[in-house]
Amino acid sequence: MKKALFITFEGVDGTGKSTQARLLKERLMQAKVPVVLTREPGGTRLAEKIRALLLNEEGLNFSTVAEILLYAAARAQHVDEVIRPALEDQKVVICERFTDSTLAYQGYASGNDLEQIRQIDQFASGGLVPDLTFLLDLTPQTGWARIQERMAQGQQDRIEARGSAFQAKVREGYLRIAAAEPERICVINSNGLRIDEVHRLIWETFYDKYHSLLGNCR
């Protein structure tokens, strides 16, 4: 079995992707598995600058096409500089968000042409597809409540500012993507679950698929 794996975490804002990606990384490190944790948009110096423009720069209005292409530019640099080299070194790469995010946010939720977005992402990523994607799912009410908590602490970004109706459309988009690719995408219903309970579900899925990578570590 190949040692290199590309694992992604997806979901609307507030689902706990960053926490769960970090916990999986720590679990793999305990098992002595070489692992890289990264994120999108971001992961490289250039991509992080694009991230700052997309999410945090006030007073900028992006056209639909410009926004999609900026995400694609960040992804192209990220894949070339971080993800592919790590996979070539036989490491497990864990990435918070990837092409599914663009399809869900800029495609389904924003009403843009899905096939055009797929073609752009195909070009930007060089055809790279995750081996396994964890889609963390929450009800729109729960997810929006978490976003509001962050907003109260001054941690709002441009995407979150689009409101609860937009987030609900993103979730619906994600569920459609997952329904079309059940072999790749594992939907984790995290409603009412503690962080450790969600991690247990993620680890059990990972172990069932890739236990030969882990030796005797359970």
For residue 213, what pLDDT is reported?
Answer: 78
Phi, psi dihedral angles at 166 (to 5 degrees):
-65, -45
Q: What's the structural domain count of the chain?
A: 1
Q: Which domain holds residue 108?
A: 5-214
What's the confidence (pLDDT) of residue 1? Answer: 46
pTM over 0.85: yes
What is the chain's pLDDT, residue by residue, as a tens digit (218 residues)?
Answer: 467 999 999 999 889 999 999 999 999 999 999 999 999 999 999 999 999 998 876 667 889 999 999 999 999 999 999 999 999 999 999 999 999 999 999 999 999 999 999 999 999 999 999 999 999 998 877 767 766 676 656 555 556 566 788 889 999 999 999 999 999 999 999 988 999 999 999 999 999 999 887 765 56
CATH code, 70:
3.40.50.300
